Structures are given as structure tokens and as C-alpha cells.
Amino acid sequence: MLDWTDRHCRFFHRLLSRHALLYTEMVNAGAILHGGTERHLRFNAEEHPVALQLGGSDRDTLVRSARLGAQWGYNEINLNCGCPSERVQRGAFGACLMNEPHLVADCIKAMVDVVDVPVTVKHRIGIDQNEDYGFVRDFVGTVADAGCRVFIVHARNAWLKGLSPKENREIPPLRYGVAAQLKQDFPHLTIAVNGGLATDEAVLAQLEQVDGVMVGREAYHNPWWLSDWDAQYFGAAKSTLTRQAVEATMVDYMAREAAQYGTSWYSIARHMLGLRHGLRGARRWRQVWSDHRLKDWPAHKVMELAQNSDHALSGL
């Protein structure tokens, strides 16, 4: 979800679900230390609970970044051992770390020792064409011995060569049974599953086998799905939210961001373009909110145009 789940996206998603745990995009631990700590760690208080997802393999750098993340108020520190992109591999982190479980364990133990929030790991179920269950079982066991108690399992192998990140989300087959087997073999650990889950039926089926579910792109492209989650999964009352109210709150947020940081509404609106997914007039509405010609307009004026989007674009 690199470049997707930034703080603006998370603010938007928090409007839809009060209880789901939100994750940052993967942040290079070295960039936090050397590329502007505030720029990489700043988030909105409304986002809680929110986890900081780190990318890195140098123990000392991860320790310093984890400590900063905890100081900034993140509720969890997560180490990404699942991203398969070649750019990430060149930095010696992401999915290639599954080949070095003892290094991961060393990094996890060092982070656990310096923060008082959970330190978790997101990983794949295998590397390249190796589908030996023992590989992922031993990885989880080794890292768990270092103090990690939560594992988020993307239920596909990561092919480190020959596939793009997009292809790595589509071509290696989903094998949810591996996550279920991990839960059986490590009943004391929290095991969550990720990958290809796009309906409540699919989520509920997984929750019969494991402790949790992580949803990525479907939540981004069809965000209104989140509006039922608090009632469906957290025992809350059925939501009375409306899409119009969420849009209006986002416009207020855009105005706040513009006043505080000079942020253009245009860089925020991209995250809510799926809000009317499946509804009549959604295409026109998206066109207004993504029209670069309106970037200098106040956000509330763009909303007015979008809400009258059947006739919105004829004069532009």
C-alpha cells in the first residue's frame, strides 16, 4: 500500500470505522532518521488505533525508528517482511527477510526491548516457488521466540524475481490453509490473514480459522464497506453514517490541512474517490473530485459541484 495509506487516507478510513486497526504505508526506517522525522511520522490524533509499518533490516536503525514511533504515539510497530518489490529488495528488506529469520528475530527482540507497544511482523507464506510449509513455520517460530506475538500472514508466496509487485498479488496462488495451520501450530500467537479478501462472507470464513483479517486494496477501492465493520466485527451499534456526511467531514479536514500545512485538497481527495462506488452518478462525482482544473478552488466549492455532478462538467 505504498503511497496509498498515508495520513489523509487513514483519516478518511477512520471516519468509516472507529475500531479497525489502521496501518501506515511501509516507511523506510532510515528515512525516518535521515529524511525528516516529522514528515514521515506525523499523523492525526483521530487515527487511533494506528500502527507504524517499518521497512528495514539494520537493527540499530529499526530500534531508533521504533522508539521514535512509540514516542510519537503509534499503538503498534510492525516490521514488513512481505513486500516483494525489487526496489525494496535492494534495500535488503521486505519479503527477502524471510530468508534470514535469525536477523529478523534479532531486530524484533531489539525493538521489543525499547518500546512498550506490540512489535509485530507482516510476512508471506514462502519465497519464490518454495511451497514447503516448514519454511514459514520455522520463520514464525524463530521470530516468535524473540518476542513477537502477532503475525499478519499474506497468504501468497513472494516471487523475488520475474514478477512485478502487482503480479505478486495475483499470480502466486492464495493458500489460506497455511495461515490456518500456523494458528494450529502456534495457538498462543495471534495470527491474522491477508490477501484477496473482498466480502464479509470471505472474512467471516477466515475468522473461523484465525484471529484476524487484514484488508488492503478492497478497503481502498470500496471504502464504504468499512462502514459496516464496527457492527459486524466489533459489536457496535449499526452505523447511521451517510456518504454525504463523510464527504462533508473530509471537506472540513481539507480546509484544516490547507490552513495548517498548505496541503491541497487535490492530494487528499484521491483517497475518497471510491466513496460512491457502485452508485448511480459515481463516475461523474469522481471526475469532479479528480479534476486538476479545480485545484485552486476551495474544497467546499468542489463538493457543491460534485454533489450536482450530473451537470457539473459541462461548463468546465
81 has catalytic annotation: no
pLDDT at 164: 79
Per-residue pLDDT of the chain (316 residues; tens, 9 = 90+): 667 899 999 999 999 999 999 999 999 999 999 988 898 999 999 999 999 999 999 999 999 999 999 999 999 999 999 887 666 655 667 889 999 999 999 999 999 999 999 999 999 999 998 899 999 999 999 999 999 999 999 999 998 887 777 887 888 899 999 999 999 999 999 999 999 999 999 999 999 999 999 999 999 999 999 999 999 999 999 999 999 999 999 999 999 999 999 999 999 999 999 999 999 999 999 999 999 999 999 999 999 999 886 544 433 3
Q: 205 and 59, same structural domain?
A: yes
Which one of the listed residues 9, 81, 83, 148 is annotated catalytic?
83
pLDDT at 120: 98
**DSSP track, 213-268:** EE--HHHHHSGGGGGGHHHHHS-PPPP---HHHHHHHHHHHHHHHHHHH---HHHH
Please tell me the total count of domains within the chain: 2
Q: 111 and 37, same structural domain?
A: yes
Q: 293 and 188, same structural domain?
A: no
Domain finish residue from 193, 215, 233:
233
The answer to the question of residue 281 being in a domain is yes
Q: Is 56 left (phi over 0), alpha (psi -120 to 50) or beta?
A: left
The answer to the question of residue 60 being in a domain is yes
Residue 122 backbone phi and psi in degrees, to 5: -110, 130
pTM, rounded to two decimals: 0.92
Range of the domain at 228: 7-233
